Amino acid sequence: MGNSVLERLFSSFTELEQAIGSAKASLEKRDFVPESIIERIRSYDEILEKQRSLAVKLCDHINKGQWEEVARHVNLINGLSAMIRDDAKAILRALSGNPDELVDDTKCC
């Protein structure tokens, strides 16, 4: 796994952090947002921090050639990203008033 892949991984965390910040700012501008949705958005910060922690461990496993652990950590990081993505889509559907609206489920990671 090259340095450019790891650089993109850490860069994606920064992009995700900015997206979470934008989502929070957008919600603050709305007249009413249920507290449960605000809490869900806040939980993304914890998930992002966990991803960063896993990525640091991933680098260590790469350096040690522990490929089984590398694969495991990549899967964990991707799973957490999918969790945020899917939950964010559900929030957008709920806030748009169209909970049955079709959403593009293309994988981002």
- Kindly report, residue by residue over 53-104, the tens digit of the pLDDT: 999 999 999 999 999 999 999 999 999 999 999 998 888 888 887 655 444 4
* Cβ(58)–Cβ(73) below 8 Å: yes
pTM for this prediction = 0.78
Number of alpha helices (DSSP H) and beta strands (DSSP E) in the chain: 3, 0
By three-state DSSP, how is residue 31 classified? coil
Within a domain: residue 104? no
Query: What is the share, in percent, of the chain residues with pLDDT greater than 90?
Result: 56
| Residue 109 belongs to a domain | no
> How confident is the model at residue 102, as a pLDDT?
41
Look at residue 99 in the predicted model and tell me its pLDDT. 57
For residue 22, give its domain range.
Answer: 3-96
Residue 103, domain member (yes or no): no
17 lies in a domain? yes
Query: How many domains is the chain built from?
Result: 1
- Residues 108 and 77: beta-carbon distance below 8 Å: no
Evaluate if residue 4 carries a pLDDT over 60.
yes
Instruction: Report if residue 102 sits inside a domain.
Output: no
CB contact set of 50 (below 8 Å; sequence gap of 6+): 80
Residue 108, in any domain of the structure: no
* Domain annotation covers residue 105: no
pLDDT of residue 1: 57
Question: Within a domain: residue 82?
Answer: yes
pLDDT at 81: 92
What residue type is assigned to position 66 of the chain?
A: Q
